[in-house]
A and B are shown apart, each in its own frame.
Chain A
Amino acid sequence: MIYLDNAATTRPCDEAIEAAVKTAKDCFGNVSSLHKMGIESEKLLNSAKNTILKKLALQGELFFTSGATESNNTILRGVADAYKRNGKTIITTAMEHPSVARVCDYLENNGFNVVRLSPKDAFYNFEEYIAEHITADTILVSCMAVNNETGYKVDTKKLYALVKRRNKSCMLHVDGVQGFCKTALYGDYISLSAHKIHGFKGVGAMYVAKGCRFTPLLYGGGQQKNLRSGTEQIETIAAFEAAVKAYPTDLSHYEKLNTLLRSRLSEMENVYINSPDGDRGVPNILSFSVMGVRSEIMLHYLEEKQIYVSSGSACSKGKISSVPDSFGIDEKRADSTIRVSFSMSNTADDINTLADEIELGIKRFRR
């Protein structure tokens, strides 16, 4: 089996599995309990927080959630509500994940003014382009750090500086799901997910910079400073921490795989790379279009050979995404898109096998 769909989800690493099992067996106490078992769990929770903050190289608060969808929902709705007196405009991009895009639609239907900007209009100066749109009425900018479908990367540190120069009270939210552990992240609010970095599904986090407010989405027992009620899922949080610790810092392997696949694809006729190269893209995601072969056919063909790739974003399962258009990718090209995303355990052999099979697939299916 060759798994090349790591932007959809990853295999939990041994460290994460062991941490979850160990916690479940030995440290299952409720963080809120007054006794020793609760305290032990709290220690684990704090340790996980610190590990993740250290990985982010940021100081501030960290809240655990059920995943990035919850993080994105909480932050967008919570920030819009907390700062609605300052203004009514939210700037976002046309390449966002649905868990941001649909919340923006909701806010738009509830009195907010939403501006959606496309990278295609300022591919190499997207940060400046976003900042130019900020007005005195803008309370929030929400922009993903790395696009899940193309690997397009935004320099969030630069974006942060530009946003604040333009309007000090405007907040920046960064959906850091695909960027975490792979590129530097910066923002007032950052959404994270464990299962994209070999942790478990069902656990994520939100980073919140000091002094930045949001109205909670969930009310209840008042856990996590009253901002995210619900008993902390300590087992998978411990696994999240273990996964972060285990994630390698030297990512040159991705570069190698990326270069190899690009060179193999360049030998094929009518195969176009959709991912940006150089600093604009991350090396672990490569999207390309095999013209004349519909994505799904190639995907199922590769599946028969036990090679697993994506036709775009795995969340959409057949639904047509509006993301390609935000990169200026036309419908025909979008229809033939294959997204490959690596993990550290993929090898050059994997890439060569994939490329060989794509060549065979083209022979069989291209019309």
Chain B
Amino acid sequence: MKELIMAKYGEIALKGLNKGTFEDILVKNIKRRLRHCGKFQYMRKQSTIYIEPVGEADLDEVMEKLKVIFGIGALQRCAVFEKDFEQIKDKGVPYLEEALQFANTFKVEAKRSDKAFPMKTPDIQMELGGAILEAYPHLKVDVHNPEVTVTCEIRDKGAYLSAERIIGAGGMPVGSSGKCLLLLSGGIDSPVAGYMMAKRGLIVDGIHFVSPPYTSERALMKVETLCEKLTPYCGDIRFFCVPFTEIQEALRDNCPEEFFTIIMRRLMVKIANKIADAYEYGALVTGESVGQVASQTLKAIQCTDAAAEYPVFRPVIGMDKKEIIEISRKIDTFETSTLPYEDCCTVFTPRHPKTKPALEEIIKAEQSYDFEPLIEKAIRDIDIKMFRVEGTTDIVDKAEN
């Protein structure tokens, strides 16, 4: 008996003439993630990608990997039969044992897209349901609220029987919408922001600022762990680690204390601008949410945005902390994010930060010192790593970039 996985499109199904481009990207992403799970044959038909193992493959593992790939609306693991009802019944009913043995209720849902098949949909449902009841007498039919839904689809290429359908990650395939640069602090919000942008089809790379000895190596390790945890969703992540100590010290020595945070954020954005220029990122992404801290007031955001040369996306801007935490738990970044290591954002926290800074005031304070040479130096000294979906990390030689 042949088993395969059907990955059904989410939003891509709604696309028009350029649907093919999106499909290509999705298939490419799937192939990449499954590279180490065995050999597979891929077929696209009727808004579905058929993933069929060639030889040995652990389909449980494959399902786990597919579950987090954006662009997939639903996943179904199924057995394939010839379009002959007797065969479906004889071989298919035993196949369902694993799914049905612990359930009390079930129903059968049939779909017949091949109208040449001699039985009509209600007949398939009734006949198959009867056969299942006979084989598993502990079961009852419940058409409204079944524990297990058995689906039987008669499609062009064959009949597909399944009792396992799960909701996919949704969204758009990563890489279908461009590239963005995520400012990763190590907190709860920024990984969630990255996840959300990847869900909209963006390739997400990360930038992080370190200020040794004000920040510890553990703080950096923590952010790198967060990158690793995001790769199943985002794919490979290029990670820029910017040495920020000198800039922060210059800031402390030359600018009024109440502006520290806001000018620091502007300087981070300015560095991100230059990275975006060099690596062709189309947007910057941050984990800011209105009103959380002093640098996340409207006035403060206006000041940071004024330094940006690219659109700044803030996907969690309107979310409550609780909602953000919920997502961070789902993507398993919460525990890492809440490790208690200081990041560079809190190194010189002003005692009384300005919550409603005027842009002119900030720019004036910032211009009292020429940060440009230090910014150039920080960019020269950047460390770049690649976090791969396979779980490996490469150090990127800057000369190659």
Contact = CB atoms under 8 A, between A and B. Distances in A.
Contact of B213 (A300, A317, A367): A300
A297 B252 CA distance: 15
Contacts of A304: 212-213
Interface string B330-346: 00000000001110000
A300 B340 contact: no
A304 B216 CA distance: 10
Nearest to A318: B340
Secondary structure call for the B interface: loop
Interface string A277-319: 0000000000000000000111111111000000000000111
Nearest to B342: A296
Contacts of B340: 317-319
A296 B216 contact: yes
Interface string A124-145: 0000000000000000000000
Interface in B93-110: none
Contacts of A302: 213
Interface string A315-340: 00111000000000000000000000
Interface in B323-358: 340-342
Interface in B206-261: 212-216, 218, 252
Contact of B214 (A300, A317, A318, A319): A300
Interface residues of B, number: 10
A320 to B, nearest CB: 9
A291 B39 CA distance: 63
B171 to A, nearest CB: 36
Contacts of B212: 300, 304
B213 A301 contact: yes
Most buried by A among B213, B340, B341, B342: B213
A60 B103 CA distance: 61
A297 B213 contact: yes
A317 B218 CA distance: 10
A304 B243 CA distance: 14
Nearest to A361: B213
B213 A318 contact: no
Contacts of A300: 212-216
24 contacts: A296-B214, A296-B216, A296-B342, A297-B213, A297-B214, A298-B213, A299-B213, A300-B212, A300-B213, A300-B214, A300-B215, A300-B216, A301-B213, A302-B213, A303-B213, A304-B212, A304-B213, A317-B218, A317-B340, A318-B340, A318-B341, A318-B342, A319-B340, A367-B252
8 A-B pairs with the lowest CB-CB distances in the bound complex, closest first: A300-B213, A301-B213, A318-B340, A297-B214, A300-B216, A304-B213, A297-B213, A300-B212
Given A298-B213, A300-B216, 16 more contacts: A296-B214, A296-B216, A296-B342, A297-B213, A300-B212, A300-B213, A300-B215, A302-B213, A303-B213, A304-B212, A304-B213, A317-B340, A318-B340, A318-B341, A319-B340, A367-B252
Interface of B: 212-216, 218, 252, 340-342
Interface of A: 296-304, 317-319, 367
